[in-house]
Chains A and B, each alone.
Chain A
Amino acid sequence: MIHLIGPAVLASALAGIGVYGLLARRNAVLVLIGAELLLNAANLLLVTAAALPAGGLAAMPGPGAAPPTEIADPLLSGQVMAIFVITIAAAEIGVALAIILLLFRARQTADLTEVGELGEASPIGVARAAAEQPSGGPS
C-alpha cells in the first residue's frame, strides 16, 4: 500500500530543480545536468502512472472505497516508456556532449554566455578566420 501523491510531488520537485539548473547555469555541461533532471522527472511520473490499475486514474474507486484488485495492463505502458525515455536520454547526451566538445575546440570555452552566436559566418568566426589568414582574407 502506498500513496501515489508522494512520487508525484517528487517528480514535480525534480522538474522544478531541472528548470532551475537549465536557466541558472553558464557551463554547458552543467546545463545538461539540468536537462537530465527534467528527463528523470518525466520518467518518475511514467513509473508512478504504471503503478495505477489498468485504465489509470479513471479506474480508481472513490475515496473510502477499498483499493482496486489490480488487473495489470498487459502492455505495461508506463514502465516500457520509461525505459524508452532512458534510451533516448542516452542518445541525446551523446550528441549534446559531441556538440559541447566541438564548441570547446572552436572557442576554447564551454561558457554559454561567451558564445553569442554559432557558425562560421558569425562575427567571431569571421574574425578568427581573418586572424588565421592575415594576408589573404576572403575576397
Chain B
Amino acid sequence: MSGLEIIFIGLAVLTGGSGLLAVTSPRVVHCALWLVVCLGSLAGVYLVLGAEIVALVQLLVYVGAVVVLVIFALMLTRAPIEASRRLDAGPGQRGAAALAGIGLAVVLAGTLIYAFADSTVDLQADRGSAEKVGVAVFGGWLLPFELLSVLLLAALIAALAISRPRVER
C-alpha cells in the first residue's frame, strides 16, 4: 500500500462520514457545516487523484460559494437553529430512503468494482495542471465552454426573475 493510498483512505473516510452526518444531523446549521467538511475533503481526494485544478475549482465554487448560498437560504427561510425532528420525514419514509440509498450504493459499487477490477495507475503530477486543463478547455472544449456561459447567464436572469416581488397589475 503506497503513501498516496493511505492519504486517500483517510480522506475517503472523512468524506463519507461527514456526508452521512450532513444528511442525518438534526440541526440545519450543522448539516451545512458538515457539507463544508465533506466537499473540502473531496477536494483533497481530487488532489490525490492528480486533478489539482478541479480541486481548486471545487474549493472556490463549492466550499466558497455554494455552501454560503445554502447557509443564506437556511437563514432566509427561518430554519430552526436548535435540534429539530421536523427536518426528517417519518420513520417509514426514512427506512425506505435508507433502503434506496444502500441499494443504489451496493449496485453502483458492485458494477464499478467489476469494471475497475484491479486497475492501478501511475499518476502523473502534471496531468491536471492549470496549463494542460486551460489548453483543453480553450481548445477542444471551447464551444461547450461558451454554451456554459450562456447557461450561467440564463440561470442568473431566471433566479432574478423568480425571486423579484410580484408587480401588482
Contacts and interface: CB of A to CB of B under 8 A. Distances in A.
Main secondary structure of the interface of B (DSSP, over half): helix
A52 B121 contact: yes
Given A11-B108, A19-B97, A2 B151 contact: no
Contact of A48 (B9, B39, B49): B49
Interface in A39-79: 40, 43-45, 47-48, 50-53, 57, 60, 63, 67-68, 70, 72, 74-76, 79
By CB atoms of chain A within 10 A, which of B51, B58, B69, B156 has the most? B51
Given A29-B79, A47-B54, A79 B133 contact: yes
B100 interface: yes
B123 interface: yes
Contacts of A47: 45-46, 49, 51, 54
B31 A3 contact: no
B125 to A, nearest CB: 12
A12 B77 contact: no
A128 to B, nearest CB: 13
Nearest to B158: A95
A79 B54 contact: yes
Given A17-B19, A79-B51, A99-B162, A2 B4 contact: yes
A79 B8 CA distance: 18
Contacts of B103: 16
Interface residues of B, number: 94
Contact of A6 (B12, B53, B70): B12
Contacts of B169: none
B81 interface: no
Interface in A1-40: 1-30, 32-34, 36-37, 40
Which 10 A-B residue pairs are closest in the complex by CB-CB distance?
Answer: A16-B105, A21-B23, A23-B97, A20-B101, A12-B108, A91-B155, A24-B97, A8-B112, A98-B159, A12-B109
Given A29-B77, A34-B23, A36-B66, 4 more contacts: A1-B121, A25-B88, A36-B39, A102-B163
8 contacts: A2-B5, A8-B112, A10-B16, A23-B100, A24-B94, A74-B140, A86-B58, A86-B62
